[in-house]
Structures are given as C-alpha cells and as structure tokens.
Amino acid sequence: MSAPLEIRVPGDKSLSHRALIFAALASGRSRVRDILESADVNSTAGVLRALGVPVPPLGRDISIDGSGARALTAPSIDLDCGNSGTTTRLMAGVAAGCDFRSRFIGDSSLSRRPMKRVARPLAAMGARVELQLGDGLPMVISGGTLKPIAWSSETASAQIKSAILLAGIVGGVDVEVTEPSRSRDHTERMLRALGASVEVDGTRVRVAALRGALSPLDIRVPADPSSAAFLIALAVLATDSPVSVPNVCLNPTRIGFFDMLRTMGGFVRIDAGPDQGGEPTGTIIGSHSELSAITVGEAQVPSMIDELPLLACIASRARGTTEIGGAEELRVKESDRIATVVSNLRAIGASADERPDGLTVEGSQKPLRGRVTTHGDHRIAMAFGILGALPGNEIEIDDPACVAVSYPAFWDDVARAKARR
Ligand code: S3P
C-alpha cells in the first residue's frame, strides 16, 4: 500500500450540538475547541442565543458563559432550527423544562419530520406541547413544572432519548428511558462527565434530578465518523488512493459502517488513539479492495443509520445483491432516504428496489451516469458525490451546496483525494 493521504475531517456533529447545549446549561465558563462549523450547528447556536445564552460566532476555540440549567430566558422570536432535527428535538427537551413559551420552526424538510415522537414523552412529563400541523413543525412548547418519567421508546433514537434526558436535567426531575436497541450515547457520556448521576443498564438509561450545577466543559471535539465514512469509502472504491483520517470519534454506537465495509471485503484499519472529551478516538485508514454484497438487518442499523445511503451507493459497485432491512427510520430523515437513494441509483443507471423498511441494490461495474436530485439532503449529495468521484462515472448533483449542513469542505476534500490518483 502506498503512503496514505491524510485528510482531516471536521468535528463531530452530534458532539458539537451537545457541547453547545451543555455549555449553555452548565454554571461557569466552558471551552469548546474544534467544534463543527456548519449550518446545523449554527442552528443550535442561534436557538441558544434566542434563549439568552451568549454563544459567540462558531470558531476553532470558543468560550461560552453558562448561567445554569434554569437560567434560560423567554425568546422574543421563533426558534429557527433550519434543517436540523437534532437541534429541534434536543432543544424541545430543554424547552419543556423552562417556564415560558417557545415556538420551533424550520425549513421545509424539517417541517415535515415527525415531532410527535418527542411531543408525547414531553407532554407525559407535564409540558404543554402543541403541534400546529398535527405532526412536524411548527411546534409550540410551554414548559415548567415537570414530573419524573419512565419512558419506553418505540424507536432506537438518540434524539428522543436526549430530549427526555435534557427535560429531566432542566426540569429538575428523575428520568428513565428504555429503547428497543441502543442508540448513540453521547448525551449520557457528556452528562456523566459534567457531574450528573447517570445509570446505564443495557438499553435503559436513568438520569437523576441534578443535585448541584452542571460543571463547565472543556472539550476538543473529535472528528465526525459519519464524515470520515465518505473519504474511507472513496479510498476503498478507487483504485490507488489510500486515505487516513485522524482523530475520529470511535464511539462504538457510531462505527457500524466501518465494520460493515470490512465484512464486504474492504480494507479498513482502525488505530486506536487517546480518549478525547469522554469519547474514544483513533485513526481510520482505508485502501482499495474488491467488495462483495452484504445483508444489513435491524440490529446493525442504529450504529450506522446516517451511513446507510453511502452503504447503498457502495453496494452498487460490489459483487452481488445487497439487502438493507429494518431501516424504516430512513424514511423520516432529511429526506425519505429509501425513496431518494433508490430513485437516484436508478437515475444514474444502477439497479435498486425499495422495500417498506429498506432497499435492495444490485452491484455492477458499469459506468454510472446521470443527474442526482438531493431534495436538499446533505448525505444524499455526499454519498452520490463519492460515486461521481470514481473514474468512468459522470454524476451531476443538483444541489452540491447542501453539504454545508454537516461538512462544508466536502467537495474540496474529495478533490484532494482525487488529485492524488
Ligand atoms: C443524532 C441522532 C440520529 C442521527 C442524527 C444525529 C443525534 O437521529 O440520525 O443525524 O445527534 O442525536 P435519531 O436519533 O433520530 O436516530
């Protein structure tokens, strides 16, 4: 293997949202380095500013003065969450614990996404939650006095879980959440690091009402495994361009994609590094390899939920037919990612079929050509962008700028990897 090209990808999106929210709820000055500077994280920053938190413009090294979990103030404007489901659902939990009225709005994609999944548990805790269109946004929350809850979630979703945990922290009550399988656990890890009492037992999490204040954070945000996945996929699919991505968050609830790529026959090496901000980190190296089809089932979905569009695109280059099932959650992401991936694979000449809970993709080596309709979905643009970067393929993306949601420098990094060939 020739020396890999090192590409640093931006900070983890899930950790960046949480770093801002916990810095706002802590008492004292927090320091956040290497935060993801993207549209979604800016949405969280904007919502916190509207609630009276002095969040500076995002940058490599920022400080935030938090005044405690009960110090947010009533907003005089709507809370605009842009395209960001994480902003909406996590901040809905925060708003449920605050004794004022908050109105959440977002762009057309976010406005269609289901919010009952957080409205129900927050209402069961005693918040008044009004979904003005039945489900989706606008959502109005009048919070305040909450009661403890033990909630059993139908969906493995870190956003639902985190909304309830945050409502407990801000509302000052004990909360317990049980999920069908384990979703990403960044909220639990961060809460524990800041002094909250967090008990985890399999798929059940309990957080006790805060006794004192949350301590301020000092975090260097590791790189996002969901962003690293695109460059590693490119290294595996392209013929002669090994890539290494350093300092990636290797939280076990996030790295299912890399295991799956290995199962397909991909060369993927992970070199463990130090823990950072309560999360394991390390370097991921990918290199060209022939791939075979695989089957993905429900148990594997949560640890690779955001990477499934990319996996489906990779499957179009693998030997055999890949089946992805147990993934109905894909239908309620930034776009209906089952429909979007299948229609776009077909639009570029690949063979794919929808299933109610997933999709089937037939691999081939024929050149792929055509135009991709992203529906403004950043992960669709990037997944098909990787196919478009392979020699022989000619793929036009209708809205390449939508990558700004999570990975603004994506096209530059892909161009660097291509230039090496
Ligand atoms: C996220 C959780 C996931 C993921 C999203 C980020 C988070 O959503 O798809 O991109 O930061 O909590 P669900 O929790 O709804 O599965």
pLDDT single digits (tens) 262-290: 999 999 999 999 999 899 999 999 999 99
d(CA 256, CA 352): 22
Alpha-carbon dihedral 318, 299, 22, 230, rounded to 10 degrees: 0
Cβ(306) – ligand 1 distance below 6 Å: yes
pLDDT single digits (tens) 344-395: 999 999 999 999 999 999 999 999 999 999 999 999 999 999 999 999 999 9
Considering the domain architecture, whether residues 208 and 242 belong to the same structural domain is answered as: no
Considering the domain architecture, whether residues 171 and 250 belong to the same structural domain is answered as: no
- Specify the ligand 1 atom closest to the Cα of 187: 12
pLDDT single digits (tens) 209-222: 999 999 999 999 99
Bridge partners (DSSP) listed for residue 63: 31
Cβ(183) – ligand 1 distance below 6 Å: yes
CATH of the domain at 335: 3.65.10.10
**Ligand 1 center to 392 CA (angstroms):** 34
d(CA 329, CA 347): 23
Considering the domain architecture, whether residues 307 and 408 belong to the same structural domain is answered as: yes
**Ligand 1 center to 372 CA (angstroms):** 24
Q: Residue 262, by phi and psi: left (phi above 0), alpha (psi -120 to 50) or beta?
A: alpha
Cβ(406) – ligand 1 distance below 6 Å: no
Residue of 16, 90, 115, 157 to mutate, ligand 1, most atoms within 8 A of C-beta: 157
Residue 1 lies in a domain: no
Domain endpoint, select from 187, 220, 253: 220
Domain endpoint, select from 177, 195, 220: 220
pLDDT band at residue 240 using 50, 70 and 90 as cut-offs:
confident
Considering the domain architecture, whether residues 176 and 89 belong to the same structural domain is answered as: yes
- Specify the ligand 1 atom closest to the Cα of 329: 16
Considering the domain architecture, whether residues 228 and 241 belong to the same structural domain is answered as: yes
Domain endpoint, select from 220, 242, 265: 220
Considering the domain architecture, whether residues 276 and 294 belong to the same structural domain is answered as: yes
- Specify the ligand 1 atom closest to the Cα of 162: 12
Ligand 1, atom 9: closest residue by C-alpha:
306
pLDDT single digits (tens) 139-156: 999 998 999 999 999 999
Q: Encoding tokens for residue 327? A: 């993934």
Q: What is the DSSP string of 9-75?
A: PPBPHHHHHHHHHHHHHSEEEEEEES---SHHHHHHHHHHHHTT--PPPP-SEEEEEEE-TT-----
Q: What is the DSSP string of 114-153?
A: --HHHHHHHHHTT-EEEETTSSSS-EEEE------EEEE-
Cβ(86) – ligand 1 distance below 6 Å: yes
Considering the domain architecture, whether residues 314 and 191 belong to the same structural domain is answered as: no
Considering the domain architecture, whether residues 213 and 329 belong to the same structural domain is answered as: no
User: What value does the mean pLDDT take over residues 161-167?
Assistant: 98
Residue of 221, 305, 407 to mutate, ligand 1, most atoms within 8 A of C-beta: 305
Q: Which of 12, 34, 80, 306 is catalytic?
A: 306
Residue 361 lies in a domain: yes
- Specify the ligand 1 atom closest to the Cα of 226: 10
Residue 226 lies in a domain: yes
Residues of the chain with pLDDT > 90: what percent? 96
Decide if 306 is catalytic.
yes
Per the structure, the complete domain to which residue 404 belongs is given by: 222-419
Neighbours of 73 (CB within 10 A): 12
Q: Is the pTM of this model over 0.85?
A: yes
Cβ(187) – ligand 1 distance below 6 Å: no
Considering the domain architecture, whether residues 30 and 108 belong to the same structural domain is answered as: yes
**Ligand 1 center to 369 CA (angstroms):** 31
Considering the domain architecture, whether residues 294 and 181 belong to the same structural domain is answered as: no
Residue 124 lies in a domain: yes
In the predicted model, is pLDDT for residue 34 greater than 70?
A: yes
User: What value does the mean pLDDT take over residues 332-338?
Assistant: 98
In the predicted model, is pLDDT for residue 1 greater than 80?
A: no
In 135-203, which residue ranges form alpha helices assigned H by DSSP? 158-171, 186-193
Considering the domain architecture, whether residues 156 and 298 belong to the same structural domain is answered as: no
- Specify the ligand 1 atom closest to the Cα of 332: 15
Bridge partners (DSSP) listed for residue 249: 281
**Ligand 1 center to 333 CA (angstroms):** 9
Domain total in the chain: 2
Residue 374 lies in a domain: yes
Considering the domain architecture, whether residues 54 and 184 belong to the same structural domain is answered as: yes
Q: What is the pLDDT of residue 419?
A: 83
